[in-house]
Structure 1
Amino acid sequence: MLTKDQFATIVMTIFVWGFAGALFGALFAALYQVLGLLGLSGWHPLVIAAAAAAMTTSAFYSAMPVALVGAMAGVLASIGYLIATGQEVELTAIVTVAGAVGIIAGGFYAWVVKGGGRPLAETLTGLIAGLLAGGSLALAFSLTGSQIGMFALAAGVVALVGTFFQISERWLVTVSAGWLPGALSAPVVAGLIASVVGASIWILGGTTSALTDANARDTIHHVVNYIPPGLLGGLLGGVVTGILLELFGFHIEEHPE
C-alpha cells in the first residue's frame, strides 16, 4: 500500500518528467526535420537536435526563473518583429532579434537577482547529455543500419538524455557552477530560450502566413507533422525514465547547490 508521500512523489515524477519529455520531444522533432531540410544528413541532425533540445529542456527543468524570462522576452520580441515587418517571417532575423532581446532581459535579471553560474551550468550539463545521447544513438544506427520512426526516436533520446543528465548533474553542476561567470549565466540562458521561442513562432507563423509561398508552406507543414509523434514519444520516454530513475534513487527534488 502506497503512503501519501510515496503517491505524491510518483505523481510529481510523472508530471515533471512527462512535461519535460513532451517539451523535449516536440522541440527535438521540429529541429530534426528542419536540419534535414537544410541539407544535413547522417548523424548531424540527430546529434545537433538532441543537444539543442537538451539544453533548452534542462534550462526549464533546472533554471525555471531564467528560462521564463527568456521565454517572455522571446515572445515579446517575436511579436514586435511581426508587427514591424508586416507578418513576413524570416527564420534568421526573428531568431536573432529574439535572442538579442533575451540576452538583454537576462542581463537585467542577473542585475536584479544576484546569482551564480548554476543556470548556465545546468544548461551546459544538458548540452553534454544531449551530445552523449545523440552520439550514442547515431553510432547504434550506423552500426546496425536500422531506422525508427519519430515516436520511438524521441522516446529513446529523452530516455538517454534524462539518464545522462541526472547521473552527471550531481557532480558536473557542482564543479562548473563555481567557475562559470554569474554575470553571463542568466543572459546566455535567457538568450538561448528566447531564440528557441523565436524559431517556434517562425514555424507557427510560417504555417499560417498568407505571404508565405507554397513551397515554404509545404516545408513547414512537413516539419509540423512530425511534432505530435515527437511530443508523445518524449512524454512516454520521460515518464518511464523518471519513474525508473526515482526507483534507483535519483530524485527530482534533489539538486546540487
Structure 2
Amino acid sequence: MTSEPALLPRRGLMFVLSSPSGAGKSTLTRLLLEAHRDLQLSISVTTRAKRPSEIEGRHYFFRDQDEFRRMRDRGDLLEWAEVHGNFYGTPREPVEKALAQGRDVLFDIDWQGTEQLCRDAALAPDIVRVFVLPPSFRELKARLERRAEDNPDVIERRLRNAIVEIGKWFEYEYVIVNEDLERSYEAVRSILIAERFRRTRFTTLAGFVEGLIDEGEALLGAEQPARAGTVRP
C-alpha cells in the first residue's frame, strides 16, 4: 500500500500527536519517522534540562528561559506553553517552509500547544490531531517509573498534570488507547495515510477532474452523457 498520493500536488499537513507523559507518543513518533522518510519532525525548543538519552537538535533545542522569551517576543514561535514548570515552543520558520513545499510535519506537542496552533486560521485546515491515552493510570505511573529518567518529585508532578491532560481528549479528531504498541502504531499510520488523501488537500484536483471530463467527452463525441451534478469548486 502506498503512503503517498500519486500524480497530484497537495498541501503539506500538520500531524499532531499529544498525550500525557508516559502514554507513548514519543515512541509512536519515532516509529512513524523511521517508516516515513518524507515525514519531517518539528523539533521543539525547551527550557528543561536535557536528559542523558537526548541529543541537541534531534530531540529538542535546549535553551535558557531568557533566550526562549526573546524567541517568543520576536514571533519566532508558532506556539508555546509552560508544561511541568518548563517552557516548550515550536519554531515557526522550518514548519512554514515545509508546508509551502508540500511536506508533512509531525508534531510531538501537548494540548496547550495544539490549541494555539488551531487558533491560527491559516494553519487550522491542515492540522490533524491524534491523542494517545494509556490503558490505565496505574500503567501510566509504571511506565514513568520504568523510564527512570526523572526523579520522584518530577514523576509525581507529571502524573498530577496527566489528569488535566487526559481530560482534553475530546478536542482531538482521533483517539488511540496505547495498550499494544504495534496495534497503536498501525492505527496512527493508517490515520496519516488517510489524511494524506483527503480531497481538500489536493491543490490541483478540480482542474484534473475537469480534464478527465473533457477527455471523456472528446472520446465519446456526440454520444457523451450529460454532466449531471458536475460542480466546479
Please report the TM-score for the alignment, with normalisation by the length of structure 2. Answer: 0.30
Name which structure has the greater RCO, CA cutoff 8 Å, separation 6+.
Answer: 1
Higher strand share: 2
Higher helix share: 1
